[in-house]
Amino acid sequence: MKIGVLGTGMVGTAIATKLVSAGHEVRMGSRSRDNPKAKEWVEKAGRGASQGAFADAAAFGEIAFNCTAGAASLEVLQAAGAANLRGKILVDVANPLDFSRGMPPSLFAGNTDSLGERIQAAFPDAKVVKTLNTVNASVMIDPGRVRGDSDVFVCGNDAGAKAEVTRILTKDFGWKNVIDLGDITAARGTESYLLLWLRLWGALNTADLNIHVVH
Ligand SMILES: NC(=O)c1ccc[n+]([C@@H]2O[C@H](COP(=O)([O-])OP(=O)(O)OC[C@H]3O[C@@H](n4cnc5c(N)ncnc54)[C@H](OP(=O)(O)O)[C@@H]3O)[C@@H](O)[C@H]2O)c1
């Protein structure tokens, strides 16, 4: 499958690398066509890897991953182009983190709103699936880094899109427990969980952590 990965940070690099190793063709996108991190990734990832501007990656992909800073995500997706995202699954991994008052960050959306919903509202013809934002970049693509069973969540308005993303999560990324939380408004919960995640990171002194829901 052809996949566009928007983002050259830790998350974009981890996800793009894993997708290439699973046999997909992946184009990484950034603000510029000659982003040094994207070029370095293409050299390292090898066959199946390419890079370009956000719009190049979105046009290339049958599916796109949004792995950009939450505060910039809407701007990035505008640059990627609504036409390039039309009818496609848009996997949203971003968190609405506000670093303007330093560390730890707060959230610029929550409670009655979420970044996932803002993205779905701004791009109504894309099928937004929010997932993976509750774990760090390393755990996203290697859930076995965390001992025992742990869970990842999906939410979105399109059942077929969630099924396809769940297939990628299980087959390509190795997740065993994928919990479908319902429509995109559930992103309010998974994004707000970051407030707890940040505290767990501090308390446990490792970012290799996750939760398992028992019922
Ligand atoms: N790091 C983690 O472990 C983790 C875990 C869960 C969720 N997340 C979420 O995943 C997303 C990516 O995180 P990250 O740590 O990999 O990287 P990041 O530093 O949050 O984002 C990097 C990407 O955002 C783009 N970007 C930043 N500022 C921009 C601006 N003003 N205008 C346009 N584009 C801008 C960059 O574009 P260029 O390529 O052009 O520089 C780059 O592609 C974030 O939303 C984060 O909250 C991260």
Give the pLDDT of residue 108.
98
pLDDT digits (tens, 9 = 90+) for 78-134: 999 999 999 999 999 999 999 999 999 999 999 999 999 999 999 999 999 999 999
Residue 107 C-alpha to ligand 1 middle, in angstroms?
Answer: 15
Ligand 1 within 6 A of CB of 97: yes
Give the pLDDT of residue 163.
98
Strands 63-66 and 49-53 turn out to be unpaired
Pick the atom of ligand 1 nearest to 9's CA: 16
- Residue 127 burial (CB count, 10 A): 24
- Residue 91 burial (CB count, 10 A): 28
pLDDT digits (tens, 9 = 90+) for 199-210: 999 999 999 999
State both tokens at 68.
């950009």
Nearest 5°: phi and psi at 117? -70, -40
Give the pLDDT band (50/70/90) at residue 41.
very high
Provide DSSP, 52-104: EEHHHHHHH-SEEEE-S-HHHHHHHHHHH-HHHHTTSEEEE----EE-TT-SS
